């Protein structure tokens, strides 16, 4: 195997680890300065496989709210991997979301997929979970549009990748959705039907995201104070995993919304192996701003003031109870904020931080990633994958 430090297809990771008690950490690094390199250094130190990803909202053809187009993010990831000399990582397109299912929306997503493939992405998460038919009389009818759209996009990726391998994640159940009774959870039957019908269409995902009580982003209590995320329903998660295994499906779970979940709980309670991919996103954004608060207080204050000025009214209407909550939920949009003339206010300041700040970010990300790899039982997983690749490719 040539060590050129390029992204490897995530299906190789998932196939190698499907019978191991390990979770591959997938990192949505919205602000890459220092943090990417820190995570890669930790991955090398612990020999842990890692996935780098951004969702459609975070990185699209115009840059999303991170300001990073697929090519930008891919180049920065490859650079960090090369600088640290780490080889077992994958470049993943997270939450390729379809919300309406219109032909126009699907065609726009295909354009983004083209750009991602051109940039070197070889792992994709198709999320048509919003397309749920509440009037359907059977589970098949309820999930039909999700199944059809997911299958169409999966086939498109396969066609565009030509003979190249890639990893595939799909989703059934809208993450964080609630009703009067609380969180809506994916049932074992829904997961089984979804995968069975996709398989009938020739689509064989490696991992499946489910609704199991988690929520994306930071979590706040009724007073708007930050709190731990302990709402993930592990019993339902295990039930879904067992149902998929019982049917003989070669698919494992992707756990979304891990930010705020205590790592000691993850290490002791998460069914590693049933959960094979664990997404950590907002957490990396949080540590960026924590470092900035100490080392670049002027920039930090400008970002805070812009966020409150532009989102306080909207956030309060949506139920935010404090400035802390408003900042935690909306500061992500400050990275690409523009003035009345369309000039970026903060992006260039963020990406031209002095070396001392970048080193602090790198060091903090390194330490935090070490703890995540420990909690995910993923230390040494990279070597298992290397041996798997050598065995199947010679």
pLDDT in tens, 148-195: 999 999 999 999 999 999 999 999 988 666 666 666 899 999 999 999
Q: How many CB atoms lie within 10 A of CB 238?
A: 16
Q: Which residue has the tokens 């930010």?
A: 259
Question: What per-residue confidence (pLDDT) applies to 246?
Answer: 98
Given a contact cutoff of 8 angstroms between Cβ atoms, the answer to whether 57 and 66 are in contact is no
Each residue's pLDDT tens digit, 207-237:
999 999 988 999 999 999 999 988 899 999 9
Q: Tell me the domain boundaries of the chain.
A: 10-286+355-393, 297-352
Each residue's pLDDT tens digit, 14-40:
999 999 999 999 999 999 999 999 999
Tell whether the model's pLDDT for residue 2 goes beyond 50.
no
Tell whether the model's pLDDT for residue 126 goes beyond 90.
yes
What value does the mean pLDDT of the chain take?
Answer: 96
Q: What is the CATH number of domain 10-286+355-393?
A: 3.20.20.70
State the pTM of this model.
0.96
Question: What per-residue confidence (pLDDT) applies to 1?
Answer: 41
Q: Is 25 left (phi over 0), alpha (psi -120 to 50) or beta?
A: beta
Helix ranges, 162-262 (H): 188-200, 234-246
Task: Work out the average pLDDT over 60-79.
Answer: 98
Output the CA torsion 376→65→55→73 (10° steps).
-80
Beta strands 207-210 and 167-172: pairing type? Answer: parallel
Residues of 41-73 as b/e, b for ≥16 C-beta within 10 angstroms?
A: bbbbebbbbbbbbbbbebbbeebbbbbbbbebb
Measured between alpha carbons, how far is residue 212 from residues 107, 187, 247, 292 in Å?
30, 9, 20, 33
89's enclosing H/E stretch is strand 89-97
Given a contact cutoff of 8 angstroms between Cβ atoms, the answer to whether 47 and 379 are in contact is yes
With 0-12 / 13-18 / 19 or more C-beta atoms within 10 angstroms meaning exposed / middle / buried, residue 265 is middle
- The DSSP secondary-structure symbol of 361 reads H
Each residue's pLDDT tens digit, 276-321:
999 999 999 999 999 999 999 999 999 999 999 999 999 999 999 9
CA atoms of 26 and 45, how far apart (whole Å): 17
* Phi, psi for 317 (deg, rounded to 5): -65, -30
Tell whether the model's pLDDT for residue 369 goes beyond 80.
yes
């Amino acid at each position: 195997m040539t060590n050129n430090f390029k992204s490897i297809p995530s299906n190789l990771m998932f196939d190698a680890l499907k019978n191991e008690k390990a979770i591959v950490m997938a990192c949505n690094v919205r602000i890459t300065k220092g943090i990417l390199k820190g995570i890669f250094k930790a991955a090398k130190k612990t020999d842990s496989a890692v996935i780098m990803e951004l969702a459609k909202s975070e990185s699209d053809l115009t840059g999303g709210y991170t300001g990073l187009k697929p090519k930008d993010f891919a180049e920065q990831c490859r650079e960090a991997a090369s600088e640290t000399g780490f080889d077992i990582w994958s470049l993943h397109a997270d939450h390729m979301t379809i919300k309406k299912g219109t032909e126009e929306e699907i065609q726009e997503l295909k354009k983004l997929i083209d750009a991602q493939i051109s940039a070197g992405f070889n792992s994709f998460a198709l999320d048509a979970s919003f397309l749920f038919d509440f009037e359907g009389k059977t589970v098949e009818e309820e999930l039909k549009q999700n199944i059809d759209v997911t299958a169409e996009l999966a086939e498109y990726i396969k066609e565009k990748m030509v003979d190249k391998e890639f990893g595939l994640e799909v989703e059934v159940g809208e993450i964080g959705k609630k009703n009067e009774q609380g969180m809506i959870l994916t049932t074992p039957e829904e997961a089984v039907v979804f995968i069975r019908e996709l398989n009938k269409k020739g689509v064989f995902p490696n991992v499946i995201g489910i609704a199991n009580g988690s929520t994306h982003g930071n979590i706040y209590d009724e007073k708007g104070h930050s709190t731990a995320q302990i709402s993930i329903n592990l019993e339902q998660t295990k039930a879904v995993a067992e149902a998929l295994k019982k049917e003989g499906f070669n698919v494992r779970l992707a756990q979304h919304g891990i930010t705020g979940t205590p790592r000691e709980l993850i290490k002791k309670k998460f069914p590693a192996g049933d959960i094979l991919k664990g997404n950590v996103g907002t957490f990396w954004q949080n540590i960026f701003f924590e470092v900035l608060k100490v080392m670049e207080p002027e920039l930090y204050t400008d970002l805070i003031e812009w966020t409150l000025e532009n989102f306080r009214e909207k956030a309060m209407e949506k139920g935010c109870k404090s400035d802390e909550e408003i900042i935690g939920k909306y500061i992500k949009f400050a990275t690409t904020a523009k003035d009345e003339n369309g000039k970026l206010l903060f992006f260039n300041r963020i990406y031209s931080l002095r070396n001392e700040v970048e080193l602090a970010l790198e060091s903090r990300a390194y330490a935090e990633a070490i703890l995540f790899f420990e909690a995910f039982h993923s230390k040494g997983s990279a070597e298992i994958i290397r041996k798997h690749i050598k065995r199947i490719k010679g």
